[in-house]
């Protein structure tokens, strides 16, 4: 059921319970590690959040309870707990009704196209005539996509929604609605849960996306958050990764490798310097390029489009495979990460293989390259290479030598 929520926090926005949830206990097989800081960026120029260094040996986590049904879902099986046990030990969330009411209060009402939202068995939305639905779901798994030592709950919520928004942008679509399924660890606190939704809802507001429902359960293991976004695109204006043709020019937006650099800085454990701020923010709070995706669609500039989530080398390989073509890219044209005061070591490797940039990679037919702006709303657009008929991707070094460029970004199934 789209609207079945099994948690109901009595986590009013005025609650001041500290977040003392246990940090992840294992290393990350993806891009995270056990090291780093839970520091979130300051909310304003004058407000800074103190660093979190984990619970003391004597502290006891404020755990999340099971809902009023007194049934927990743990690893696919249910078991019964007494109401007295949960309320005495957890005292955070009480009934499903309270949680739905709290969450509904955080979501603006009267959104265009929304007939029924949170609180019913399902959401009903209206799609405008002449438009198609764009649907995308992405999971964020603790220990794979985030760790509690590195990522604040606000960042976890932001990043989870940003991933799906970026995919809608890569189709040339406009995101409209979101559904969330949350399997939350029993060690999470009400402050952690509240901040997670705060991060997600803040980004949703920025892009006029309405949260219309979802599902929530308590699990004994790690937290898993699944976000589905429904968007729309005008019929005939949708973009795909399969449209590139030989001779098309290859472009990317923004700077690549900043997120990977930000994660490296967070994992280092050292206090960030002012020059680190851009890279750290790029990792913790990525900016989906929805406006650019719509622009490329409406101006009919892009022949193919994909977002860069797994790394330029991997996502360019995806685009070429889908289009049945190859590519040559110039190393000296790839916009790697930069420090305001100096060079970043291994900048090219970070740009090629770092991932989680959520920039857009697109191809443009030769006759339309003159219409591509140098900047789109202060976002630089860089031409980095050309689509070729022969299969495979080649990287051309500054000295003119070309070497095969394999997909070196992230792959969930790689051993």
Average pLDDT, integer, range 81-92:
38
8 pLDDT band, cuts 50/70/90, is very low
Q: Where in the chain is the domain with CATH 3.90.650.10?
A: 249-404
Cross-strand partners of 404: 394
User: Tokens for 41?
Assistant: 């960026």
pLDDT number for residue 410: 61
Judged against a pLDDT cut of 70, whether residue 171 lies above it is answered with yes
Q: How many whole angstroms separate alpha carbon 29 and alpha carbon 315?
A: 19
CATH code of the domain occupying 249-404: 3.90.650.10
Map residue 153 onto helix, strand or coil: helix
Let me know how long the chain is: 415
Looking at CATH, the fold of the domain delimited by 71-234 is given as 60s Ribosomal Protein L30; Chain: A; (3.30.1330)
> Regarding predicted confidence, which is higher, 101 or 84?
101
Q: Are strands 392-396 and 402-404 parallel, antiparallel or unpaired?
A: antiparallel
pLDDT tens digits, one per residue of 175-220 = 999 999 999 998 888 889 889 999 999 999 999 999 988 888 889 9
User: Tokens for 50?
Assistant: 């103190």
Average pLDDT, integer, range 106-114:
69
Nearest to 162 by CA among 108, 123, 111, 207: 207
**Helix or strand holding residue 228 (H, E):** strand 224-234
Q: Give the count of beta carbons closer than 10 Å to the beta carbon of residue 379.
A: 16
Say if residues 409 and 353 touch (Cβ distance below 8 Å). Answer: yes
The angle formed by the CA atoms of residues 46, 105 and 40, to the nearest 5 degrees, is 30
pLDDT number for residue 164: 96
Judged against a pLDDT cut of 70, whether residue 262 lies above it is answered with yes
Nearest to 106 by CA among 207, 19, 195, 175: 195
**Helix or strand holding residue 251 (H, E):** strand 249-253
Q: Alpha carbon of 20 to those of 17, 53, 183: distances in Å? A: 9, 9, 18
pLDDT number for residue 97: 62
* pTM, two decimal places: 0.74
Q: Are strands 326-330 and 392-396 parallel, antiparallel or unpaired?
A: parallel
| DSSP conformation class of 391 | S
Nearest to 389 by CA among 316, 295, 324: 324
Q: Alpha carbon of 274 to those of 93, 154, 261, 286, 339: distances in Å? A: 39, 21, 14, 18, 10
115-124, 162-171, 326-335: range with lowest mean pLDDT = 115-124
Quick one: what percent of the chain has pLDDT higher than 70? 70
Q: How many whole angstroms separate alpha carbon 396 and alpha carbon 331?
A: 6
> Regarding predicted confidence, which is higher, 277 or 9?
277
Q: How many whole angstroms separate alpha carbon 339 and alpha carbon 288?
A: 22
Say if residues 6 and 66 touch (Cβ distance below 8 Å). Answer: yes
Average pLDDT, integer, range 41-46:
38
Mean pLDDT of the chain: 78
Judged against a pLDDT cut of 50, whether residue 315 lies above it is answered with yes
> Regarding predicted confidence, which is higher, 52 or 320?
320
Q: How many whole angstroms separate alpha carbon 28 and alpha carbon 33?
A: 5
| DSSP conformation class of 368 | G
Q: Where in the chain is the domain with CATH 3.30.1330.10?
A: 71-234
408 pLDDT band, cuts 50/70/90, is confident
Q: Give the count of beta carbons closer than 10 Å to the beta carbon of residue 51.
A: 10
Q: Are strands 114-116 and 124-125 parallel, antiparallel or unpaired?
A: antiparallel
Q: How many whole angstroms separate alpha carbon 324 and alpha carbon 303?
A: 13
Q: How many whole angstroms separate alpha carbon 370 and alpha carbon 357?
A: 26
| Backbone angles phi and psi of 146, in degrees to 5 | -155, 155
Please report, for the chain, how many H helices and E strands are present, in that order.
9, 16
């Amino acid at each position: 059921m789209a609207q079945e929520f099994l948690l109901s926090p009595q986590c009013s926005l005025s609650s001041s319970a500290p977040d003392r949830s246990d940090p992840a206990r294992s290393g990350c097989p993806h891009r995270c590690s056990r090291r780093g800081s839970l520091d979130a960026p300051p909310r304003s120029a004058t407000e800074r959040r103190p660093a979190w260094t984990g619970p003391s040996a004597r502290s006891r986590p404020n755990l999340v309870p099971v809902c009023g049904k007194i049934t927990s879902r743990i690893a696919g099986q249910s078991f019964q707990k007494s109401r007295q046990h949960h309320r005495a030990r957890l005292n955070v969330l009480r009934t499903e009704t309270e949680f739905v009411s709290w969450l509904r209060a955080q979501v603006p009402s009267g959104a265009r196209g929304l007939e029924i939202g949170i609180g019913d068995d399902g959401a009903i939305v209206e799609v405008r005539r002449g438009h198609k639905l764009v649907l995308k779901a992405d999971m964020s798994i603790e220990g794979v996509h985030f760790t509690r030592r590195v990522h604040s709950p606000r960042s976890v919520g932001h990043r989870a929604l940003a991933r799906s928004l970026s995919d809608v942008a890569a189709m040339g679509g406009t995101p409209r609605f979101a559904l969330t399924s949350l399997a939350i660890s029993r060690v999470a606190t009400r402050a952690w849960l509240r901040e997670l939704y705060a991060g997600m809802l803040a980004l949703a507001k920025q892009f006029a996306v309405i949260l219309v429902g979802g599902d929530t359960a308590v699990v004994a293991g790690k937290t898993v958050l699944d976000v589905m976004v429904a968007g729309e695109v005008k019929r005939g204006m949708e973009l795909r990764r399969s449209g590139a043709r030989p001779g098309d020019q290859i472009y990317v937006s923004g700077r690549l490798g900043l997120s990977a650099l930000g994660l490296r800085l967070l994992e280092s454990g050292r206090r960030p310097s002012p020059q680190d701020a851009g890279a750290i923010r790029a990792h913790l709070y990525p900016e989906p390029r929805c406006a650019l995706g719509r622009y490329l669609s409406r101006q009919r500039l892009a022949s193919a489009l994909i977002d860069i989530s797994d790394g330029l080398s991997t996502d360019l390989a995806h685009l070429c495979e889908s289009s049945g073509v190859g590519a040559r890219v110039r190393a000296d044209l790839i916009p790697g990460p930069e420090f305001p005061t100096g060079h970043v070591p291994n900048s090219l490797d970070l740009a090629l293989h770092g991932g989680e940039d959520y920039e857009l990679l697109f191809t443009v037919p030769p006759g339309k390259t003159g219409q591509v702006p140098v900047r789109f709303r202060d976002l630089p657009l860089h031409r980095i290479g050309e689509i070729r008929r022969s299969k495979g991707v080649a990287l051309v070094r500054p000295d003119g030598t070309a070497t095969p460029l394999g997909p070196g970004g992230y792959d969930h199934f790689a051993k």
